[in-house]
Structure 1
Amino acid sequence: MLELNRPAEVVAMPVYEYRCAKCGVFEKEQRITAPPLTECPTCGGPVHRIISRNIGVIYKAGGFYTTENRSQEYKNKAKEESKTSEVSKAS
């Protein structure tokens, strides 16, 4: 039984793009293990899965950029060099 006080779980599935000769391009959310569609859900004509150009990737955790993984020694040296260059620019 569904508990109403509990937040719903979100299950993300990939979205595939298909091209129909009559209807054009459409998207279909499918499991990875599902076989590709062979006919258009609108007109029943043949369809072909196409490679998507728009792939959205969102990185929500740290460590994906090389500057995030620098040692404390490197950060201190960079800070000193920055201060030195600011002083020389002011002169």
Structure 2
Amino acid sequence: MPLYDYQCTSCNHQMEKLQKISAPPLTDCPACQAPALQKMLSVPGFRLSGTGWYETDFKTGAKKNLAGGDKAD
């Protein structure tokens, strides 16, 4: 389940909430009880780095060269 950041537009209270993607967004602030919570944009908790995945990573034999022509050695 994703972790969402919320901020109250009334009292500026900030909080995080673990919710299902299908769950409706929260609206009531737990600090001031005003219906003024808004979801904030936040950075994901993971980062993809490195050279990446290639179609040849887990293929063997003749299946290795699917995207391009022959390489000259």
The answer, yes or no, to whether TM exceeds 0.5 is yes
Q: State yes or no: 1:19 paired with 2:23.
A: no
Give the structure-1-normalised TM-score: 0.47
| Runs ≥4 residues deviating over 3 A | none
Q: Alignment RMSD, CA only? A: 3.1
Q: State yes or no: 1:35 paired with 2:35.
A: no
1:58 Cα deviation (Å)? 6.0
Alignment gaps of 5+ in structure 1: 1-12, 78-91
1:41 Cα deviation (Å)? 1.7
2:68 is matched with which residue? none
Aligned length: 58
Which structure has the larger Rg?
1
1:30 Cα deviation (Å)? 0.7
Q: Tell me: higher relative CO, structure 1 or 2? Use CA pairs within 8 A at least 6 residues apart.
A: 2
Aligned 1:1-91 pairs, distance under 5 A = 13-21=1-9, 22-45=11-34, 46-52=36-42, 54-57=43-46, 64-66=52-54, 69=57
Aligned-residue identity in percent: 35
Larger fraction in helix? 1
